[in-house]
Amino acid sequence: MPNSRPEFTIADRAAAEQLIDLALAEDLADIGDLTCNALIGERDRAEVLVVAREAGIVAGLPIGELVFEKVDPLVGWVPEVPDGTLVEPGQIVARAAGPLAGILIGERTTLNFVGHLSGIASLTHEFVEAARGTSATILDTRKTLPGWRSLAKYAVRAGGGTNHRMGLFDGVLVKDNHIASWSRQVGNSRLADAVRQARAESPTGVSVEFEVDTLEQLRDVLEGRPDIVLLDNMNPDQLREAVRLRNELAPQVLLEASGGITLQTVRAIAETGVERISIGALTHSARCFDLGFDFHHID
């Protein structure tokens, strides 16, 4: 069954090109591929099938074209399915054809990108499916490797998830350390007042989110009417009570559950009535999706 069809944006392409440059510099330095130089002729040609070794969501196929543009523009890269497709073991997801040396030089870099991003997309898909039928949306976090955030969040979209803020620059998320510092400065521990100040000092239209870890804090913060309240490490009973309080006091505020959520627990959390579930594991703990370069023919 097809899944999401994410847009591979200009920002995603720019991030990919920077990372590809780093990857190729690691592999080739200023010397090149010593193995290909020793054994592969300039006239050798091949066609390779990129094959899924397991079931999951594929993501990152546009990056293959970018890799081979840098390695050898004579290598043609053709995706067989769009990103966001649920593939089965043995399914062909892309083809590469052209000079054999170029294919071999770009093979590992391409597999590293597509395998990593497909792993994120596949794990996201599992969480989305586990929460299906509830009102909860599955979101990512900022727990990404430097340089990989744009691509990791692209893969989350490919898996059917939703992106949280991209960084510190595009959303307010007030956590316990922010509140501790603010309280000392102003001599006030009322979270509702902190919400009002955060709203007043932020650009118009920017989402204001507050983290709480008790129901007492939730009651306080709801008085200030943030856009979102993050409910940190609450169990399902606490989350249900949080939803009841929100519905009573500020029904327009969205509730987001977060903290240690797994595939085994996400369904119960989604069924409490929260609108959002944010999961750092989508990007920091996804394993590499298993893909292979299978030679179709060599000339």
pLDDT in tens, 60-108: 999 999 999 999 999 999 999 999 999 999 999 999 999 999 999 999 9
Asked whether residue 141 falls in the same domain as residue 104, the answer is no
What is the total count of domains within the chain? 2
Domain encompassing residue 89: 10-129+286-298
Calculate helix-pair angle for 149-158, 100-130, nearest 10 degrees.
60
Asked whether residue 122 falls in the same domain as residue 172, the answer is no
At 157, give phi and psi (nearest 5°): -65, -40
Q: Is the pLDDT of residue 229 over 60?
A: yes
- Per the annotation, the verdict on 237 as an active-site residue is no
* Model pLDDT, residue 1: 43
CA distance 279 to 130: 13
Asked whether residue 63 falls in the same domain as residue 156, the answer is no
CA distance 182 to 47: 61
Asked whether residue 252 falls in the same domain as residue 292, the answer is no
Mean pLDDT on 199-223: 97
At 219, give phi and psi (nearest 5°): -60, -40
Mean pLDDT on 233-246: 98
Catalytic residue among 69, 193, 232, 241: 232
Enter the DSSP assignment of 275.
S
- Per the annotation, the verdict on 108 as an active-site residue is yes
Asked whether residue 197 falls in the same domain as residue 183, the answer is yes
Asked whether residue 70 falls in the same domain as residue 174, the answer is no
Asked whether residue 122 falls in the same domain as residue 186, the answer is no
Asked whether residue 170 falls in the same domain as residue 28, the answer is no
Q: Is the pLDDT of residue 2 over 70?
A: no
CATH number, domain containing residue 109? 3.90.1170.20
Task: Give Cβ neighbours of residue 21 (< 8 Å, ≥ 6 apart).
Answer: 70
- Per the annotation, the verdict on 199 as an active-site residue is no
Asked whether residue 91 falls in the same domain as residue 186, the answer is no
Asked whether residue 160 falls in the same domain as residue 119, the answer is no
Catalytic residue among 13, 70, 95, 143: 143
Residue 1 lies in a domain: no
Asked whether residue 37 falls in the same domain as residue 139, the answer is no
